[in-house]
Structures are given as structure tokens and as C-alpha cells.
């Protein structure tokens, strides 16, 4: 049976600020992010079951990514825990305080770590693409990251 990659696309809005950064991205600013999630597996060879012919139902993939990534990060402000600027915001502000500089690269590593453990048996995360601006994006590939690496 052939191995197939399937991809689902997502969008979310997020504000961030880079810490210790000498440039415009030190400022609190936002992006409309694009996220592509690709998983790999073999289409189910069975009849009379809901997932027949599928690596994974796109709607299940959507649900997993929505719960793990989109819901926590959409319309949130993301900042490194050592950058005390977040203490000036009202407590009701939706914030994700992270232990990394919230660049495209570090966020995609975080997303990969969150997602990897959530797929059913036989389905593996293959690729993530995180688009930050019309001209900038980062990619994560499973084959590049076979051993766990620190951010």
C-alpha cells in the first residue's frame, strides 16, 4: 500500500514582540499567520468504515490542530517569559508566555512538539509550514528532526 501525505491549511491572528532585538520587531505587533500541517500514512484499506480510503479524516486533523495550536494562539499576545513588558497589560489579555523567542522558527518547533504526540497510530507528522508575512515563512520536517533538539 502506498504511503501518502495529506495537508490541512489553517490561519490565525497573533501578536508578538521580539525581546533584546534591535529592529522594528522589538515592538508589539501582529501577523496573520498561515499554518500548513502535513501528516503521512497509508490510506485505510477497509470497507464499511468511516475512514476507509483515508490516511486520516481531514476533519479529525482539523480538530487536533485547532485544539492544540489555533485555540491557544489565535488572537493571543506571545512573548518570552523574561521580557517583563507583558506585566503592563491588563490581566484579561489573552497571552501565551513562552520559554523561547517567539520567532517563526521557535514557534514552529513548539507547534511540532505539541502536535507530534496527538496523531493516531500509523499517522505521523511529516511537515509544518508557518507563514509569518507574505514574504517570510519557516518549515519543519520530521526527517530533519529525528532526535529531540533544544530550542
Ligand X SMILES: Nc1nc2c(c(=O)[nH]1)N=C([C@H](O)[C@H](O)COP(=O)(O)OP(=O)(O)OP(=O)(O)O)CN2
Give the catalytic positions in this structure.
25, 75, 132
| Binding segment (CB under 5 A) for Zn ion, from list 4-12, 19-27, 37-45, 100-108 | 19-27
Q: Are strands 4-16 and 76-80 parallel, antiparallel or unpaired?
A: parallel
Question: Annotated binding residue at 126?
Answer: no
Question: Annotated binding residue at 29?
Answer: yes
Does residue number 133 form part of the binding site for ligand X (CB under 6 A)? yes
Q: Which is nearer to ligand X, 65 or 78 (CB)?
A: 78
Residues 1-60 contacting ligand X, CB under 6 A: 18, 25
CB of 93 to ligand X, least distance (A): 19
- How far from each other are the two terminal CA atoms of the chain, in whole angstroms? 36
Number of Cβ within a 10 Å radius of residue 23: 7
| Of 67, 54, 62, nearest in space to 36 by CA | 62
Q: Which is nearer to Zn ion, 71 or 133 (CB)?
A: 133
| Binding segment (CB under 5 A) for Zn ion, from list 23-31, 38-46, 51-59, 74-82 | 23-31
| Binding segment (CB under 6 A) for ligand X, from list 2-10, 58-66, 68-76, 129-137 | 129-137
Residues 100-119 contacting ligand X, CB under 6 A: 103-105
Residues forming contacts to ligand X in the complex (CB under 6 A) are 18, 25, 103-105, 132-136
Residues forming contacts to Zn ion in the complex (CB under 5 A) are 25
Mark the binding-site residues for Zn(2+), compressed into ranges.
16, 29, 31
Amino acid at each position: 500500500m502506498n504511503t501518502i501525505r495529506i495537508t490541512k491549511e489553517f490561519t490565525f491572528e497573533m501578536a508578538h514582540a521580539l525581546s533584546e532585538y534591535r529592529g522594528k520587531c522589538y515592538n508589539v505587533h501582529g501577523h496573520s499567520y498561515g499554518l500548513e500541517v502535513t501528516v503521512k500514512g497509508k490510506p485505510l484499506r477497509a470497507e464499511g468504515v468511516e475512514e476507509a480510503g483515508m490516511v486520516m479524516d481531514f476533519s479529525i486533523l482539523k480538530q487536533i490542530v485547532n485544539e492544540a495550536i489555533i485555540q491557544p494562539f489565535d488572537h493571543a499576545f506571545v512573548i518570552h517569559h523574561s521580557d517583563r513588558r507583558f506585566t503592563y497589560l491588563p490581566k484579561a489579555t489573552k497571552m501565551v508566555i513562552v520559554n523561547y523567542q517567539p520567532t517563526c522558527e521557535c514557534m514552529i518547533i513548539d507547534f511540532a512538539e505539541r502536535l507530534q504526540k496527538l496523531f493516531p497510530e500509523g499517522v505521523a507528522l511529516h511537515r509544518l509550514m508557518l507563514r509569518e508575512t507574505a514574504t517570510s515563512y519557516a518549515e519543519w520536517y520530521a526527517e530533519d528532526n529525528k532526535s529531540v533538539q533544544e530550542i
